[in-house]
Amino acid sequence: MTCRHFLSLLDFPSEDLQQLIEKAMDLKSGLRQGQLSSVMKGKTLAMVFEKASTRTRVSFEIGANQLGGSALFLSPGDSQMSRGESLADTARVLSSMADLIVMRTLAHERLTEVAQQIPRICRASNLSLMVDADHGYGNALNVKRTVEELESAGVSALTIEDTVLPRQFGTGETALISIEEGVGKMKAALSGRQDPSLVVAGRSSALSVTGVEDAIRRTKAYEAAGVDAMFLSGATTKAEVEAVRAEVKIPLMLGGAGGELSDRAFLSANGVRIALQGHLSFSASVKAIYDTLKALRDGVVPGDLTPTLATPDLMGQVTRRADYNTWTKEFMN
């Protein structure tokens, strides 16, 4: 029997969903008439919840019993997940024993939270938006869903990394998934892409975790899988960039690079097309807000802070004042 996953309504054609709804209505109607179903007779439903739930848990437990089956509930504290076992390993163990598995994870909520912010960011600018999609918020199937959601939200590019997330309990070190699993995630990401102009980039911390040779192996494997670019997290030297570049043709990306990797001519000559300093602007804004609030608390007159504040012209540019004035004249006068 083929195992089938239900992760998203988009995974099923409308005809299958219609049949599913009609079947549910028939079962519910029969239950009201006292007709007990045996659809799940002899079958066990295992429920793994990363977060507490009332309605979801109760509805699945009662549903399984009403259909003639049994339900088993596991919280993180009831399993080896509390001792560092990954959700994927837990799922593999349960799948060898249970007939069905229901999972309520935090990963989907993290994806939803990110996806909800993207349209707001895109509306504020005409610039293309690139998103760090972490590890895709789960396994390869979650990666596919992540790409679908982020593309629909309006991103122009995203990165999928091969880091083990979340970190296992009791370890402060970054760990990487196997190259084989990483390739599966990259392929899943590409399969979730509908618009060929969406850039799907692989990302790896191998340079700082397992060394240059492993970074090269991973970059070559992800290039072969079809990714559009490779983000080399943790690169610190020109030698590292040159070693990777010598083995691949896809564009490279760096983040937070300083020191000798501040040489833009070198980066350009070695296939680096994006060198991010994303944390600097955020850190600068935090410092500015802190300094302003502290000064006000300490009694500084607001007018004395003017030299440290954005000028009216800059505020007008950021808030698109000219556009709003034009729209007001065209649409309200």
Q: Are residues 129 and 155 in the same domain?
A: yes
pLDDT single digits (tens) 26-77: 988 888 888 888 888 989 988 887 767 788 889 889 988 889 999 988 876 7
Tokens found for residue 284? 């600068």
Q: Which of 252, 276, 300 is the last residue of a domain?
A: 276
Q: Are residues 228 and 314 in the same domain?
A: no
222, pLDDT greater than 70: yes
Radius of gyration of the CA atoms of the chain, in A? 26
Q: Are residues 131 and 215 in the same domain?
A: yes
Q: Are residues 51 and 180 in the same domain?
A: no
pLDDT confidence of residue 1? 43
Q: Are residues 91 and 239 in the same domain?
A: no
Which domain CATH number covers 37? 3.40.50.1370
Q: Are residues 159 and 248 in the same domain?
A: yes
Q: Are residues 288 and 198 in the same domain?
A: no
pLDDT confidence of residue 165? 76
Map tokens 């109760």 to a residue. Answer: 58
- CB-based contacts of 8, cutoff 8 Å, min separation 6: 145, 148
- pLDDT band with cut points at 50, 70 and 90 for residue 108: low
Compute the average pLDDT of residues 203-225.
Answer: 96
Q: Which of 104, 124, 142 is the last residue of a domain?
A: 104
Domain of residue 290, residue span: 281-332
4, pLDDT greater than 90: no
pLDDT single digits (tens) 125-145: 788 999 999 999 888 888 998
Among the residue ranges 87-101, 138-152, 295-309, the one predicted with the least confidence is: 87-101
Q: Are residues 250 and 309 in the same domain?
A: no
Mean pLDDT score of the chain: 87
Residue 162 belongs to some domain of the structure: yes
- pLDDT band with cut points at 50, 70 and 90 for residue 8: low
Residue 1 belongs to some domain of the structure: no
pLDDT confidence of residue 111? 67
Residue 307 belongs to some domain of the structure: yes
Tokens found for residue 232? 């080399």
Compute the average pLDDT of residues 223-251.
Answer: 96
For the chain, how many structural domains are there in total? Answer: 3
Quote the CA–CA distance of 236 and 178 in Å, as a whole number: 23
Q: Are residues 291 and 249 in the same domain?
A: no
- pLDDT band with cut points at 50, 70 and 90 for residue 116: confident
pLDDT confidence of residue 240? 97
Q: Are residues 152 and 288 in the same domain?
A: no
Task: Return the higher-pLDDT residue of 107 and 69.
Answer: 69
Residue 4 belongs to some domain of the structure: no
Q: Are residues 122 and 267 in the same domain?
A: yes
Q: Are residues 243 and 111 in the same domain?
A: yes
Highest mean predicted confidence (pLDDT) among 98-112, 124-138, 256-270: 256-270
Residue 2 belongs to some domain of the structure: no
Residue 3 belongs to some domain of the structure: no
Q: Which of 104, 135, 160 is the last residue of a domain?
A: 104
Which domain CATH number covers 224? 3.20.20.60
Closest Cα to residue 104, out of 91, 85, 118, 89? 91
